[in-house]
C-alpha cells in the first residue's frame, strides 16, 4: 500500500521527502506518516537544535521522528506557560525529553522534570494477555538486545547531567509511582508500550495535572498498539475527556479548566 501511495504522489508531480541537501521536498514520508502538507518547521533552527539533541541522547540513532518531536515540542511549550512540573513515563535513553529540555532552555525554568522508567525494558508482570499474544515481551527483549532499549541507567543519567532539576524514578509503574509525587504537573509524556502501566500513570498524575495541562501519548494511534488505545480511551472517559488521535500515531489530552 505504501509503495502505491508513493507512486501516486510522484505521479502528481511531488517529490518524496528524502532530506535532500539544501532544502525540503514537497512530501513528508517518515515514521508511518505520508503528508503533502507544510512541514517547514523542519527548517526552524530551534527545532533542529532540539531534534539533534534528541538524536544525541539515542547515541546518534535517528529514528526519523521529526513530526512526533514537533508535536512534543508544541505540547511542552504550551505546558510551560502554566504551573507545574514535567513528567515522562517511559524515558528509555531520553530522546523526546532531551529535545524538550533543549528547546525550552530547561535550566532557565523553575520546575522539575520527573523521569520514570524501568531502564530495563517492559516488566512482564504488567503485560496483558492480549499484549502477550502480540509478542510484546519478545519485542521488548529484542530491543534490549539490539540497543533500542537501554539498561544503562548511568549512561542515561550522564545524558541529562547538563540540566538542573531532573528526578529519576527507577522501577516499573505502578510500583514506582509512590516515589513520584510532584505537587503540580503541567506536562506528561507517556510512552511505555504496555497498557496497564500507561493507564496507572494517567490515573496517578491526573489529579496533580494543572488545568490546561497537557498529556501526550506516544503510541496511542500507532498501528499494532490497539490495546493501549482502547485502555487509554476507557481511562480518559473516567475523567470526562477524550483523546485527540493524531496522524503521527500520538494521542493528545488537554485537561479542561
CATH number for the domain spanning 134: value is 3.40.50.150
pLDDT (average), residues 206-216: 98
* 81 in the same domain as 138: yes
Which grid coordinates are listed for 163? 540540566
Same domain for 180 and 102: yes
Are residues 53 and 26 part of one domain?
no
- Looking at the structure of the chain, the number of domains it has is 2
Q: Which residues contact 184 (CB under 8 A, 6 or more apart)?
A: 83, 84, 85, 208, 209, 210
pLDDT: is 60 or 27 the higher one? 60
User: Do 46 and 27 share a structural domain?
Assistant: no
For residues 117 and 105, give the distance between their C-alpha atoms in angstroms, rounded to a whole number.
23
Q: What is the pLDDT of residue 12?
A: 54
Looking at the structure, tell me whether residues 229 and 169 fall in a common domain.
yes
What is residue 118's three-state secondary structure? Answer: coil
* Residue 135 shares a structural domain with residue 95: yes
Work out the mean pLDDT of the chain and round it to a whole number: 92
Residues 177 and 197 in one domain: yes
pLDDT band for 15, please (50, 70, 90 cuts): low
Given a contact cutoff of 8 angstroms between Cβ atoms, the answer to whether 85 and 186 are in contact is yes
Of 152, 123, 149, the residue nearest 136 (C-alpha): 123
pLDDT at 58: 97
Segment 210-220 shows an average pLDDT of 97
Regarding whether 28 and 46 lie in a shared domain, the answer is: no
Residues 31 and 46 in one domain: no
Which of 29, 31, 22 has the alpha carbon at shortest distance from 5? 29
**Same domain, residue pair 155 and 211:** yes
pLDDT score of 4: 57
- Does residue 17 or residue 175 have the better pLDDT? 175
Under the banding of pLDDT at 50, 70 and 90, the label for residue 21 is: very low
- Residues 226, 191: Cα–Cα separation, whole Å: 14
What range defines the domain where residue 33 resides? 1-38
Residues 34 and 51 in one domain: no
Q: DSSP character for 14?
A: P
Question: Phi/psi of residue 203, each to 5°?
Answer: -65, -35
Say whether both 30 and 48 belong to one domain. Answer: no
CA-based nearest residue to 166, from 118, 101, 119, 114: 114
56-97 per-position pLDDT tens digit: 999 999 999 999 999 999 999 999 999 999 999 999 999 999
Examine the pLDDT at 11 and tell me if it is beyond 60.
Answer: no
Amino acid at each position: 500500500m505504501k509503495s502505491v501511495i508513493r507512486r501516486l504522489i510522484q505521479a502528481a508531480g511531488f517529490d518524496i521527502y528524502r532530506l535532500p541537501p539544501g532544502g525540503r521536498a514537497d512530501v513528508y514520508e517518515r515514521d508511518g506518516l505520508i503528508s503533502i502538507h507544510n512541514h517547514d518547521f523542519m527548517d526552524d533552527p530551534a527545532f533542529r537544535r532540539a531534534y539533534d539533541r534528541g538524536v544525541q541522547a539515542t547515541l546518534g540513532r535517528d529514528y526519523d521522528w521529526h513530526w512526533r518531536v514537533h508535536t512534543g515540542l508544541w505540547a511542552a511549550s504550551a505546558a510551560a506557560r502554566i504551573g507545574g512540573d514535567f513528567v515522562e513515563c517511559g524515558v528509555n535513553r531520553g530522546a523526546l525529553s532531551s529535545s524538550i529540555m533543549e528547546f525550552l532552555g530547561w535550566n532557565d525554568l523553575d520546575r522539575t522534570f520527573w523521569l520514570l522508567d524501568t531502564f530495563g525494558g517492559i516488566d512482564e508482570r504488567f503485560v496483558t494477555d492480549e499484549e502477550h499474544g502480540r509478542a510484546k515481551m519478545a519485542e521488548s527483549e529484542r530491543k534490549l538486545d539490539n540497543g533500542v532499549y537501554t539498561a544503562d541507567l548511568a549512561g542515561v543519567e550522564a545524558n541529562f547531567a547538563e540540566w538542573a532539576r531532573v528526578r529519576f524514578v527507577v522501577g516499573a509503574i505502578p510500583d514506582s509511582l509512590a516515589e513520584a509525587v510532584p505537587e503540580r504537573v503541567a506536562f506528561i509524556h507517556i510512552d511505555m508500550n504496555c497498557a496497564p502501566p500507561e493507564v496507572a500513570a494517567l490515573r496517578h498524575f491526573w489529579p496533580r495535572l494543572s488545568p490546561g495541562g497537557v498529556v501526550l501519548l506516544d503510541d496511542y494511534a500507532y498501528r499494532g498498539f490497539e490495546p493501549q488505545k482502547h485502555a487509554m480511551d476507557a481511562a480518559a472517559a473516567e475523567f470526562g475527556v477524550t483523546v485527540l488521535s493524531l496522524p503521527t500515531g500520538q494521542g493528545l489530552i488537554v485537561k479542561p479548566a
